[in-house]
């Protein structure tokens, strides 16, 4: 029995979408209930910069993988 | 005077104290997340070769990449959420009332307030090693006819804050009694 490696990729994309949703919610809270100050704006930009950095580095590796390949769930033994 | 947007601010109301938890609390949280961020690296250095043997070779690398990416994205997200939780939990003391703002999770925000003249008792508690050395603790505020107490959690310099609130309460009670007397005379 084999499954497509792309399934893991789609799960990853869903988790990234959830991440983006929570990122938006966090920033919204900080802007709405916090106070617009230089410290706050710097913090938001720093958070976004690190997020973009993680996603960019990830994408460099993810882009190199062939997601069309399949993997076997049952171990195949060779005699 | 502190410049701060008071929820439902009244005419002539001034912010006397704006309190948050002691910075040590956010420092501990940040260090905890940093340690969690380092765990996979330590784990990989110690058991990398052993674990690789358990995975199907062709699937191991892509899954590892996806897992690592998600792991660090979410640690970063939780660190940020932790900071927001710290930052948005605030206790404000004005010349008229005390306001308790608590961010309980991302979509749950509680704001409660109490008039200064209704305050009956203010107590501070400094318990534990770090609170004693770094001078932070809880402040309990008991109001008239209210079963529930206001709690200022892990705020810096609790003794000074209690002293300040007590002084404000006394002043406010005098002013309130004066106003009540004037009202009676007018009636």
With 80 as the cut, is the pLDDT of residue B176 above it?
A: no
> Residue B97: CB partners within 8 Å, gap ≥ 6?
B13, B113, B114, B115, B116
Q: For an interface test with B, which of A29, A68, A76, A78 has the most B Cβ atoms less than 10 Å from its Cβ?
A: A29
With 90 as the cut, is the pLDDT of residue B161 above it?
A: yes
Model's pTM, two decimal places? 0.81
Q: What percent of chain B clears pLDDT 70, i.e. is strictly above it?
A: 84
Report pLDDT digits (tens) over A1-60: 788 888 999 999 999 999 999 999 999 888 888 777 788 889 999 999 999 999 999 999
Per-residue pLDDT band for B57 (boundaries 50, 70, 90) equals: low
Strands B97-103 and B90-94: antiparallel
Tell me the shortest Cα–Cα distance from A46 to chain B, in angstroms: 10
pLDDT for B186 equals 63
CB-CB neighbors (< 8 A) of A33 in chain B: 88, 101, 103, 109
The mean per-residue pLDDT over the stretch B25-44 comes to 91
Which of B66, B73, B80 is facing A54, going by the closest CB pair? Answer: B73
Structural domain boundaries in chain A: 2-67
Give the span between the Cα atoms of B123 and B140, in whole angstroms.
5
Residues from A contacting B (CB-CB < 8 Å) are: 5, 8-9, 11-12, 15-16, 19, 22-23, 25-26, 29-30, 33-35, 43, 47, 50-51, 54-55, 57-58, 61-62, 65, 67, 69, 71-72, 75
The mean per-residue pLDDT over the stretch B41-70 comes to 79
pLDDT for B60 equals 78
pLDDT for B187 equals 55
User: ipTM of the predicted structure?
Assistant: 0.88
Report pLDDT digits (tens) over B88-103: 889 999 988 899 888 8
Helices marked H in chain B: 23-52, 57-88, 129-134, 158-186
Contact yes or no for B76 and A47 at CB 8 A: yes
Per-residue pLDDT band for B148 (boundaries 50, 70, 90) equals: low
Which of B69, B87, B103 is facing A58, going by the closest CB pair? Answer: B69
- Which two three-digit tokens encode residue B149? 């107490």
């Amino acid at each position: 029995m084999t499954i497509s490696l792309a399934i893991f990729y789609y799960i990853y994309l869903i988790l990234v979408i959830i991440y983006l949703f929570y990122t938006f919610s966090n920033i919204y809270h900080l802007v709405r209930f916090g106070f617009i100050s230089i410290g706050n704006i710097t913090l938001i930009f720093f958070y976004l910069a690190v997020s973009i950095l993680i996603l960019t580095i990830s994408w460099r590796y993810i882009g190199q993988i062939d997601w069309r390949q399949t993997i076997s769930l049952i171990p195949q033994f060779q005699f | 005077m502190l410049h701060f947007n008071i929820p439902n601010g009244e005419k002539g109301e001034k912010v006397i104290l704006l309190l948050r938890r002691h910075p040590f609390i956010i420092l501990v949280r940040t260090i905890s997340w940093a340690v969690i961020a380092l765990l996979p690296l330590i784990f990989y250095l110690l058991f990398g070769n052993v674990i690789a043997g358990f995975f199907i070779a062709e699937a191991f690398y892509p899954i590892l990449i996806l897992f690592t990416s998600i792991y660090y994205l979410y640690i970063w997200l939780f660190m940020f959420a932790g900071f927001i939780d710290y930052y948005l939990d605030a206790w404000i003391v004005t010349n008229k009332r005390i306001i308790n703002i608590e961010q309980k999770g991302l979509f749950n925000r509680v704001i409660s307030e109490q008039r200064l003249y209704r305050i009956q008792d203010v107590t501070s508690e400094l318990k534990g090693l770090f609170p004693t050395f770094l001078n932070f603790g809880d402040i309990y505020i008991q109001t008239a006819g209210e079963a529930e107490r206001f709690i200022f959690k892990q705020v810096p310099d609790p003794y000074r804050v209690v002293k300040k609130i007590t002084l404000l309460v006394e002043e406010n009670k005098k002013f309130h009694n004066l106003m009540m007397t004037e009202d009676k005379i007018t009636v």
